[in-house]
Amino acid sequence: MEDLARITRIAARALGRAGLVHAYGHCSARLDNDSFLVCPSVPMEHVQIGQTCPIVPVAGALPEGVLGEVRLHQQIYSRRAQAGGVVRFMGPNMMALAALGRVPEIRHGFGTYFTPRVGLWQDIQLVRDDDRASGVIDAMGDSAGVMMRGNGAVVTAATLPEAVGLAWYLEDMCRIELAALSTGLSQAPTISNSQAEERATRQGRIFERMWDYLSYGDPELPQQN
């Protein structure tokens, strides 16, 4: 369990350094069918070496001190047996596009990992009850991510390091979409679902290299000689 807690702390700090979170945001990693670890309830870049990552049940009340929106993580782990990591983040490009009530089209390679389409939750209220959390994940559909209007996004993957990579990818998707909107080229052709499914490979250490990039220099990584 300590190895998974270390990865959770590294992920939290990596998301902070990348500017994908600030005072708000959280990440988690599945322990087993019934529980997961969530990062400490502090700004993610401020997570300390060895700091305790609370254990949260997949079903039931949140432990004292765990942030209310961690209910989103519960919903994902309860519905998706293959989910091993969840990231709730607030990247600036994604926040701008979500505030417009839009999701990015699949226009480049990073976007293909969200086929068929990024989900959108239109309610601007904070997600601090089970009904809203369930609604957000309903809106996620079969995608790896969902954006919440004016309130950030959630992504999930088989592992937490991969979910961290998906958060970076979704932020970059939104950067491209805002560029398309600002240049009047938003009607340009997009990548089809069949092309996207072929492009969205995990081979060639795609996500491992992104994890290496985002976590580089973290104090809890093994030291390289």
> Does the pLDDT at position 34 exceed 50?
yes
Contact 145, 76 (CB under 8 A): no
Tokens, residue 114: 């969200």
* CA distance linking residue 42 with residue 37, whole number of Å: 15
> Does the pLDDT at position 100 exceed 90?
yes
Q: Identify the pLDDT of residue 148.
A: 97
List the CATH code of the domain at 2-215: 3.40.225.10
Q: Identify the pLDDT of residue 222.
A: 82
State the average pLDDT over residues 147-164: 97
> Does the pLDDT at position 224 exceed 70?
no
Give the residue extent of every domain in the chain. Answer: 2-215
- Percent over 90 (pLDDT), the chain: 96
Contact 15, 25 (CB under 8 A): yes
Give per-residue pLDDT as tens, 37-62.
Answer: 999 999 999 999 999 999 999 999 99
* CA distance linking residue 75 with residue 138, whole number of Å: 9
State the average pLDDT over residues 75-97: 98
* CA distance linking residue 167 with residue 126, whole number of Å: 20
Of the two residues 222 and 159, the one the predictor is more confident about is 159
Q: State the residue for tokens 């019934």.
A: 34
Give per-residue pLDDT as tens, 105-124.
Answer: 999 999 999 999 999 999 99
> Does the pLDDT at position 201 exceed 70?
yes
> Does the pLDDT at position 220 exceed 90?
yes
Tokens, residue 71: 């209910």
Q: Identify the pLDDT of residue 225.
A: 42
Q: For the chain, what is the mean pLDDT?
A: 96
